[in-house]
Amino acid sequence: MFRRRPDAPAAAAVAVTVEGREVRVPAGASAAAAMLLAGLTRETAVRGTTRAPYCLMGVCFDCLAEIDGVPNRQSCMVTVAPGMRIARQRGKRAV
Ligand code: FES
């Protein structure tokens, strides 16, 4: 789905865990990018409809994820860090 431009400079990779699977993400990328690289989406709280990151700038909330055990995070606004654990958001979470 997403590919780096062939002429893009090589970036250092950061290893994160997405739903228990190691994914290598370019340094400086967002947790939403890691989810997209892993091919994962989230499900809406009420109907369970599939959603994927859309705006990638903190507006639409379609990228909600659980990051390092904290639910309801806008994954597009979180920069990956080594060892970060990312999981899909399923259903409602307490606020
Ligand atoms: S993708 Fe829209 S808020 Fe994150």
Confidence of residue 29 (pLDDT cuts 50, 70, 90): very high
54: CA distance to ligand 1 center in Å? 6
* Ligand 1, pocket-test mutation among 35, 56, 64, most atoms within 8 A of CB: 56
* pLDDT tens per residue, range 71-83: 999 999 999 999 9
Confidence of residue 42 (pLDDT cuts 50, 70, 90): confident
Q: How many CB atoms lie within 10 A of CB 72?
A: 14
Residues 41/81/21/89 CA torsion (nearest 10 deg): -30
Q: pTM score, two decimals?
A: 0.85
